[in-house]
Amino acid sequence: MDYLDFELRIAPGSGRQYAVSLVKSPAGVATGTLQFPYDTIALEHQLRGLELAVLKSSTLRRDILTASPETDSVSDFGRQLFGALFADQILTAFRRSQDRAQSERKGLRVRLRVDAADLAALPWEFLYDPSEGDYVCLSAATPVVRYFEFDRPPEAVTVQRPLSVLGVIASPSDRPTLDVGRERERIEQATARLQASGDVRIEWLGGSTWRDLQRAMRRGPFHVLHFVGHGGFDAASGEGVIALTDDNGRSALLGATEVGRLLADHHALRLVVLNACLGARGSGDDVFSSTSAVLVRRGVPAVVAMQYEISDLAAIEFSRSFYDALAEGLPIDAAVAEARKAVSVSSRSSVEWATPVLHMSAPDGMLFRFEGGRQATPPAMAGAPASGASTTPEPAASTPRPAPVEPAAAPPVAGAVSARALASGATLRPRPWQVIVRFVLSLVLGTLFAAATDEFAFPGTEPGLPFLGFFVAWSVAMWFALGTVGPLQPRD
């Protein structure tokens, strides 16, 4: 899907008022004022309630289809946030832009440039459009991204399949233990079909120290880094951290700046996925304080991070749809939107679709340009998709398949018959030279055997049978015993 851009910039404000500028849209530019609906205490209460709602929704029974108080509170917050941001001229421009995008059969990418640090960490993914009756980011037609604009915007890299993913799982001994096997298994499960089809290849980091990571990145190239582990926010340094391990297996906290330093020099790396708590959480004083924002500033074109804990089921569903959409060549924001939809549909009572946060600096969201079409699903997978995988047929490859290469024929051996000749039902005949060789050998062998047995007599017979009789008998026997010398030739 192609997209038009609807780019909003929220400037630092005073009190609860913030200046909003529509800097790019199909309907032109506009200005407005964001009157934030919550004071500090009320906002803290709302944010705690949202986090509890997300965590609780992950444990609800799958057959509960009715709205719960928690989901009602989430949609109420989303309405308030939408009404504050899309007010007056901004809302009018948004509706006109939606109409324009729809008439051109395109999507409308909502790019948020939040320069107000105290608003940057808000869960903007909960924006709820009351006229549509749904959350804005749950449609691939209106993906919501946290956007950073730089002087040198990143460009998509050309990739020859498969998409190469480096998987990193870190479970320090002095922190709550992660089930490393389960974490790895759920990513393998989510990408099983893509790996089988040759669209994605995952390599797992053997260790979990920063030196192991540095060594692996040199060995690359890798297009995606998928990290599973512990994360947080270090108030002392004012930035996000992830927990790798030291040589003794204990925590080695690596600040976002250090992580960015390790990854910045690898041009092929276009995407980092941080499945770590608070990977998208920053301070209220610096827009570039969360781990994801720092990595984008250090040159990674896109980072998907988690603002809440995510359950196994939601993580598997998100990863499956996300990597599938990426392998199809969709822009990163469209891939995230598709994955959000998958999580929301797989569990109607869950609001975990809002847990992932996308930070990006790629203007059009394109991270990869794949050479050729997708490979077909292997026959073993075609009739039986992985559990929970989509049963929608894969689009046909745009490039024709090469003709199968026939194996080189083995050299003929004596007595061998062409399988193709037999399959065609052709009548076989010996070549002339075969007849001559067979005749000469029969005479020679007949003579030798006759000479050797001329004086031999079977019991009850007279010795000294004529030599000619033995010669004829042995020659006829040798004629049939020799058979055909060399391969037969099909008769025309």
3-state secondary structure of 455: coil
Mean pLDDT of 472-484: 57
- Evaluate whether 304 touches 358 at the Cβ level (below 8 Å): yes
Q: Which two tokens stand for residue 478?
A: 């040798």
Give me the pLDDT at residue 181, please. Answer: 86
Domain count, the chain: 3
Q: Does 161 lie in the same domain as 101?
A: no
Beta strands in 205-347, from DSSP E residues, in sequence order: 224-234, 239-245, 251-255, 271-276, 302-306
Identify the bridge partners of residue 342 per DSSP, sorted by sequence position. none
- Does residue 397 lie within any of the structural domains? no
The answer to which of 155-159, 297-301, 423-427 has the lowest mean pLDDT is 423-427
In a domain, 392, yes or no: no
Does residue 116 fall inside a structural domain?
Answer: yes
- Does residue 216 surpass a pLDDT of 60? yes
My answer on whether 220 and 363 are in the same domain is yes
CA distances from 436 to 432, 442, 448 (A): 7, 10, 19
Residues 268 and 308 in one domain: yes
Residue 408 is assigned to a structural domain of this protein: no
Q: How many alpha carbons lie under 13 Å from residue 65 in its C-beta half-sphere?
A: 3
Considering the domain architecture, whether residues 88 and 168 belong to the same structural domain is answered as: no
Q: 160 lies in which domain range?
A: 154-347+354-378
What is the Cβ-side half-sphere exposure of residue 294, based on CA atoms within 13 angstroms? Answer: 27
180 and 309 assigned to the same domain: yes
Q: Which of 86, 120, 147 is the last residue of a domain?
A: 147
Does 272 reside within a domain? yes
Instruction: Tell me: do 143 and 158 sit in the same domain.
Output: no
Q: Is 414 strand, coil or helix?
A: coil
By percentage, how much of the chain surpasses pLDDT 70?
A: 71
Residue 180 lies in a domain: yes
Q: Contact at 8 Å (CB) between 333 and 365?
A: yes
For 60-94, b/e burial (b = at least 16 CB within 10 A) is: eeeeeeeeeebbebbbebbbbbbbbbbeebbbebb
Q: Which residue has the tokens 């062409």?
A: 418
Domain assignment present for 75: yes
Residue 301 and residue 227 share a domain = yes
Where among 147, 168, 203 does a domain terminate?
147
Burial class from Cβ neighbours inside 10 Å (0-12, 13-18, 19+) for residue 322 reads buried
Bridge partners, residue 200, by sequence? 163
- Write down the pLDDT at residue 445: 63
Residue 414 lies in a domain: no
Q: Is the pLDDT of residue 64 over 60?
A: no
Residue 48 has pLDDT above 70, yes or no: yes
CATH number at residue 166: 3.40.50.1460
Q: pTM higher than 0.75 for the full model?
A: no
CB of 117 closer than 8 Å to CB of 287 = yes
pLDDT at 371: 84
Query: What are 28-35's contacts with CB under 8 Å, separation 24+?
Result: 28/93, 30/89, 30/90, 30/92, 30/93, 31/89, 32/87, 32/88, 32/89, 32/90, 33/87, 34/10, 34/84, 34/85, 34/87, 35/84, 35/87
The pLDDT, as a whole number, for residue 421 is 39
Write out pLDDT tens, residues 104-153: 999 999 999 999 988 998 999 999 999 999 999 999 999 999 999 988 89
Q: Which residue has the tokens 């993913």?
A: 165
pLDDT of residue 248: 94
More confident residue, 235 or 438: 235
Tell me, what's the pLDDT at 67?
A: 53
Specify whether 313 is located in the same domain as 450: no
Last residue of a domain, one of 147, 173, 191: 147
8 and 121 share a domain? yes
For residues 332 and 439, membership in a common domain is answered with: no
Residues 42 and 171 occupy one common structural domain? no
Same domain, 158 and 49: no
Which amino acid makes up residue 157? Answer: V
pLDDT digit string (tens) for 281-337?
554 544 556 888 889 998 999 999 998 888 888 888 999 999 999 999 999 999 999
In this predicted structure, which of 120-129, 254-263, 411-420 has the lowest mean pLDDT? 411-420
